[in-house]
Structure 1
């Protein structure tokens, strides 16, 4: 049997052979950095402070937090804009956030994640640095962030809960690139903080310890993309005029991003609602538009929530002895009809509508039940039947204010103490849409003796006029 030696193993050539280990043995590369590991095991007391300090604020002690405030501390340790050392800066350069300082890098309308951003224009960071370092401005960001929620709801979807964290991460990255003393105010609800309302501005003045009289309003500015601009030369129209209205409310100059960063000429714009159009030119006493024609009758009020029904009742019908029948108080229509019948039996004329509070309350209570507003002929027919039962005439007062005026009145009433002694909450837009969906214009052939149409005009003191003529919606 042959025992010839085994052939020697041929050495494997290393020419053109990958040096990586076989796929099955290849080490999985970790995305965890050594600095992250070091930070994890570093005691909290020895970690560097976060550059952005976050706080949550509430409109008052009885409401949940709805304002997110972030204050950035620069890497060089300079004082933030809230500290006394920065008190010499009396000019404020305020900016909207999305579509003004930044835009999505994905091209989508709404941000995809915390990394989905880029500067609105390459000139933005340099212009902001110049404002702070050379021109002596405080820099603040004032933004409506309706997609966020600060409500402590453990049942809320994780996707909703994570949005606040993603927003903070994005803000931190942006502020780190600028590395200036900056602050951001982000409104998350439709309350006093939401632009064009001035709650965020009032809060930042408090934080900066600036008295309104000391602020350089003439040179302060607000830059935002919601300027109410018309569509022009392929450019779409603005989604609203809230940024321009916000600047007007606080009395500072307004610029769009194109005007401020690119030097473009202003484009034509239009406001969908101008409060001053509804303030009478004269302060002369207005004579009553309502005349009592019958010894005993029923008067039905028809109009949207916020149309001025309450004001009209207290000014013109209550002094004439009309008893009010208010479903907002009595709760059901059947109860209202019963009480109205009792008043008529006692020889008292009846006004049917929504008349809360007292004569000192200048705006109508806004209802969640469209029955209370007598919007359609079917509801009004119940009152016509009642008048026939008691053999008395029935009249209609028709309030013609459109939806914008009514929403404005509701916001004014709900969001300031001076004109809201009962602390009523702001209505959902559903209340106004509900009225509009059921509304049928009153007609004489429904059985009315007459129909008196009332267009809305503001009435009130000079103090109330200043409040009412701001932009609220």
Structure 2
């Protein structure tokens, strides 16, 4: 990422690599991901490029291939004299995505025994496209009565897709800070819709009671109920979803989300409660659906090391 951020000159980097290759005197191909996207580990873009474009048409035999890397998810003090934990797990996950046998440098070159390691808590391979969408399962997603629905959930937790699939087609007015610019504008839009007798959905992150009470108050003043839809995607899952949507072209335009935004939500999050004035709280689970097999294959890869 140093090249992408302008901290490292590409020519300087290439010169160092060429010096190493000259000393090795071995046939070597070098692939460098200079920024985020499908070519950055642990996503398989570089491997796919090697197999399809850069191996002179020779089929790669994965059973005769291996991957050696030091980003292996090892904890602090994983070996005597090795106090620091690995900076990530991206190398191990890259090999896991591809289906290659994996070794750390110490294991492969020095013959050390395998060290302990941890994989991410979120595994995209295990998400079930047929699992239940909401809890309690008996609750209705929409109402025949005018109401306000307030979303709570990480960026990239699936809120917008859910609302545009299940709620907006039923005539609800869609209110979102990314498009309106401020929470004040969101409150005004909510008030206008209720005066017209229309139900409203508030598609913001709304992590704490302070951000949610604005809409509870508007609903109360209008004499309508206010429900909360809590999107249950974890931080790890939301970050994976975010990276996926950055890699896949879509007709939907999402605001760019960085780690600071994710961790700000986590810092301020307070679980929604009925005592805030909600008539009902639904838990909305992330259930993936894909437009094609290529998108699903990409989503099922580990993308965060």
Q: TM-score, normalised by structure 2?
A: 0.85
How far is 1:319 from its partner?
4.2
**Is 1:470 aligned to residue 301 of structure 2?**
yes
**Is 1:207 aligned to residue 54 of structure 2?**
yes
**Native 8 Å contact 1:398 1:452 kept in 2:** yes
| Aligned with 2:25 (options 179, 182, 189) | 179
1:279 to 1:203, Cα distance in 2 relative to 1, 3 A: same
1:285 to 1:210, Cα distance in 2 relative to 1, 3 A: farther
How far is 1:324 from its partner?
1.3
Q: Deviations over 1:418-470 (max 9, x none)?
A: xx344757532122122223322222222111222234343446724322110
**Native 8 Å contact 2:130 2:287 kept in 1:** no
**Map of 2:259 onto structure 1:** 429
**Native 8 Å contact 1:327 1:333 kept in 2:** yes
**Map of 1:232 onto structure 2:** 78
Q: How many residues matched?
A: 296
1:306 to 1:284, Cα distance in 2 relative to 1, 3 A: closer
Whole-angstrom distance in 1 between the partners of 2:47 and 2:206: 40
**Map of 1:102 onto structure 2:** none
**Is 1:295 aligned to residue 145 of structure 2?**
yes
Written as runs of structure 1 = structure 2, the 5 A alignment for 1:22-101 is none
The gaps in structure 2 that reach 5 residues or longer are none
User: Which of 1 and 2 has higher RCO (CA within 8 Å, sep 6+)?
Assistant: 2
| Aligned with 1:335 (options 185, 195, 206) | 185
How far is 1:287 from its partner?
7.6
**Native 8 Å contact 1:394 1:449 kept in 2:** yes
**Map of 1:258 onto structure 2:** 106
SS in 2 for 1:260: helix
**Map of 1:221 onto structure 2:** 66
How far is 1:392 from its partner?
0.6
1:387 to 1:283, Cα distance in 2 relative to 1, 3 A: closer
**Native 8 Å contact 1:275 1:471 kept in 2:** yes
1:381 to 1:275, Cα distance in 2 relative to 1, 3 A: same
**Map of 2:159 onto structure 1:** 309
How far is 1:218 from its partner?
1.8
**Native 8 Å contact 2:131 2:287 kept in 1:** no
Written as runs of structure 1 = structure 2, the 5 A alignment for 1:103-182 is 146-149=1-4, 160=7, 163-182=9-28
Whole-angstrom distance in 2 between the partners of 1:448 and 1:150: 45
**Map of 1:442 onto structure 2:** 272
Whole-angstrom distance in 2 between the partners of 1:279 and 1:198: 19
CA RMSD, Structure 1 to Structure 2 (Å): 2.7
How far is 1:297 from its partner?
0.6
The gaps in structure 1 that reach 5 residues or longer are 1-145, 152-159, 354-371
**Native 8 Å contact 2:134 2:282 kept in 1:** no
**Map of 2:40 onto structure 1:** 194
Whose helix fraction is larger, Structure 1's or Structure 2's? 2
Q: Deviations over 1:242-265 (max 9, x none)?
A: 001111222322211122212333
Whole-angstrom distance in 2 between the partners of 1:472 and 1:434: 21
Whole-angstrom distance in 2 between the partners of 1:423 and 1:352: 17
Whole-angstrom distance in 1 between the partners of 2:131 and 2:289: 11
| Aligned with 1:374 (options 177, 189, 206) | 206
**Native 8 Å contact 1:222 1:254 kept in 2:** yes
**Native 8 Å contact 1:226 1:243 kept in 2:** yes
Whole-angstrom distance in 1 between the partners of 2:68 and 2:99: 13
**Map of 1:351 onto structure 2:** 201
